[in-house]
A and B are shown apart, each in its own frame.
Chain A
Amino acid sequence: MTAGGPDLPTDGEPVDRRERLALASARVPFRLKVAVVWVAIFAVLVAFFWLSRFDTDWMLDNLEFIALGLRFTIQMAVGGIVLAVVLAGLGALGRLSSNPVAYGISGFYVSFFRGTPLIVQMFLIYLAMPQVAGNIVSEYPGIPVEYANAFILNAILAGTIALGLNYGAYMTEIFRAGIQSVAGGQGEAADALGMTHAQKMRKVVLPQAFRVVIPPTGNEFIAMMKDTALVSFLGVTAVQAEIFRRAQLAGKADFKNLEAYVLAAGLYWALTALFTFFQARLERRVSRGYVRLPSSSSRPAEQAGGH
């Protein structure tokens, strides 16, 4: 029987097996179906692990060594995002400023740090800056040598600074768009109440921009957590190595590359999932004032089936 024949029965009994199946399926909650899909994917992955004779003992033995890298990964990501948020805040105000100096500096900043690769920026900060400082000091003997030494950074710090500068440039544009997304009437209402420009920004514009900016900022943070792996190219010592570097070291030593990198991937993934959870909670918190009803956790597809 074909669907949509000329003589559809008006109601009552399902006409064929396919329709009965569709009706039965509609009664199963959407979340449950999604859970089943995830379980299936994991089952396939586990089967794959087992078939390819993964050395799970090796993985367990090395889990601690690799997981200890979390400390440096998180340290760099948190330091980087804090620096990036500060820079992006200043950058966005600069991009929206009528002051030519502020506008010019923020424009240059965004252009350079978006226009060059992160890995190049890391090397510039880690290797090139000390060289420049050293040359200046030897050129002008009046400057104490310690000043030049201050530019010799350890790899973790150099990486954090590079991450902050680089992501700050991208986030400048995010923040700028967030501020501009606040409806013009809001600023006019603040003006009409006699607020100063600073009061208008602080009390009216920025809180509303903040809400808009959280999802893309969280996105950037997730990306940054994984870009911390790049710092391993600066040649960090084993003690200070983050997840990726540790996986590399351990995997190479025992020729267990697959196991090592799967472990690393799992750790990054877990970190991201954890952060996503907290981000969702934050988003729900700041959406007060934008939803008419108290938040309910139901999915859109969770409507009841037929009766």
Chain B
Amino acid sequence: MAASGRAGEPVVRVRGLHKRFGHLEVLRGIDMELHQGEVMVIFGRSGSGKSTLLRCVNFLEDPTEGTVEVAGFRLGGGHRTKRKREQIRQLRLHVGMVFQQFNLFPQMTVLENVMSGPMCVRGRDERQIRAEATELLESVGLADKADEHPIRLSGGQQQRVAIARALAMKPEVMLFDEPTSALDPELTGEVLAVMKRLATELHMPMMVVTHEMGFAREVADRMAFFHEGVILEQGPPEQLFDNTQTTETRKFLDAVL
């Protein structure tokens, strides 16, 4: 938990990451680091491996080769022994993830959703957890929805609850896997606003897979363009947008801007 204090050390370090699904090689050698307070926007065509990288960082997918290091845990792929599963679980306690489809638990109320993670780890101080969860809901502007079930909320509201749920674990890094892609256009703003506050006010290190280029230009410290399983180009937004190095990146940006 004290890890957030390790100045200079990267929060996430990925080394030589390869991921194969059968014969299909989705990631073909990724090396990257994410530093304290850094926001990294990952973009690229669908199938270029962006989401797979995110999913490898918290071991929703096992790397085929290479290692991922988060919060002092350095893990690779291979058979999941009991010990390995526990290490993965420990690693995940330090990583928050937000999904494209929100994946809120429908049978729980909004508040119960936000409490669900901490309750599994330190279920004894329920009162404390409830207070923190209520505070988190306030911070995403949904305190009045605490006792509703997620289905009664709009997509944008659901995604904000999902962010609060991930934050309740006090993660050292947040992963966003296309957080606004399933939303109606008029609802993306409220979610992006929450993410922006997370970056600028709380200095939360974030890896964000998104096609929201306005958000990227405004909030990202670094952008990485994925192409066929490798990071083809990366750098600060100004460089990516205004001084693009590769034609592939240029073509993609021209298509989405």
Partner pick for A291 among B103, B151, B165, CB 8 A cutoff: B151
B151, A185: Cβ atoms closer than 8 Å: no
Interface residue B198 (Cβ < 8 Å from any Cβ of A)? no
B106, A191: Cβ atoms closer than 8 Å: no
Contacts of B84 in A (CB 8 A): none
A residues 283-299 touching B (CB-CB < 8 Å) = 288-292
Contacts of B152 in A (CB 8 A): 292
Q: A188 → chain B, closest Cβ, in Å?
A: 6
State A197–B85 Cα separation when bound (angstroms): 10
Most chain A beta-carbon contacts within 10 A, residue among B92, B120, B150, B166: B120
Chain B: CB-nearest residue to A288: B149
State A266–B73 Cα separation when bound (angstroms): 67
B106, A208: Cβ atoms closer than 8 Å: yes
Interface residue B159 (Cβ < 8 Å from any Cβ of A)? no
State A223–B177 Cα separation when bound (angstroms): 47
Determine chain A's interface SS by DSSP, over half rule: helix
Partner pick for B58 among A192, A196, A211, CB 8 A cutoff: A192
B residues 116-134 touching A (CB-CB < 8 Å) = 116-117, 120-121
Interface residue A203 (Cβ < 8 Å from any Cβ of B)? yes
Interface residue A74 (Cβ < 8 Å from any Cβ of B)? no
Interface residue A186 (Cβ < 8 Å from any Cβ of B)? yes
Interface residue A194 (Cβ < 8 Å from any Cβ of B)? yes
A207-B107 CB under 8 A given contacts A189-B99, A289-B151: yes
A193, B99: Cβ atoms closer than 8 Å: no
Interface residue B111 (Cβ < 8 Å from any Cβ of A)? no
A185, B101: Cβ atoms closer than 8 Å: yes
Size bracket, chain A contacts: 20 to 34
A residues 201-217 touching B (CB-CB < 8 Å) = 203-204, 207-208, 211
A192-B93 CB under 8 A given contacts A199-B120, A289-B108, A289-B149: no
B residues 46-75 touching A (CB-CB < 8 Å) = 58, 60
Chain A: CB-nearest residue to B108: A289
B103, A189: Cβ atoms closer than 8 Å: yes
Contacts of A204 in B (CB 8 A): 105, 116
Determine chain B's interface SS by DSSP, over half rule: mixed
State A288–B105 Cα separation when bound (angstroms): 12
Chain A: CB-nearest residue to B55: A188
Interface residue A177 (Cβ < 8 Å from any Cβ of B)? no
State A211–B165 Cα separation when bound (angstroms): 24
A residues 161-206 touching B (CB-CB < 8 Å) = 183, 185-186, 188-197, 199, 203-204
Contacts of A207 in B (CB 8 A): 107
State A42–B114 Cα separation when bound (angstroms): 54
Most chain B beta-carbon contacts within 10 A, residue among A189, A207, A288: A189
State A186–B102 Cα separation when bound (angstroms): 9
Interface residue B142 (Cβ < 8 Å from any Cβ of A)? no
Interface residue B97 (Cβ < 8 Å from any Cβ of A)? yes
> A191-B92, A195-B89 known; 11 other A-B pairs, CB under 8 Å?
A186-B105, A188-B103, A192-B92, A192-B97, A192-B99, A193-B117, A196-B89, A199-B120, A203-B116, A208-B106, A211-B107
> 14 A–B contact pairs at CB < 8 A?
A185-B101, A186-B103, A188-B103, A189-B105, A191-B92, A192-B60, A192-B166, A194-B93, A194-B169, A288-B149, A289-B107, A289-B108, A289-B150, A291-B151
Chain B interfacial positions (CB closer than 8 Å to A): 58, 60, 85, 89-90, 92-93, 95-97, 99, 101, 103-108, 116-117, 120-121, 149-152, 165-166, 169
Report, nearest first, the 10 A-B pairs whose CB atoms are least far apart. A193-B117, A189-B103, A289-B149, A194-B93, A192-B97, A185-B103, A194-B92, A289-B106, A199-B120, A207-B107
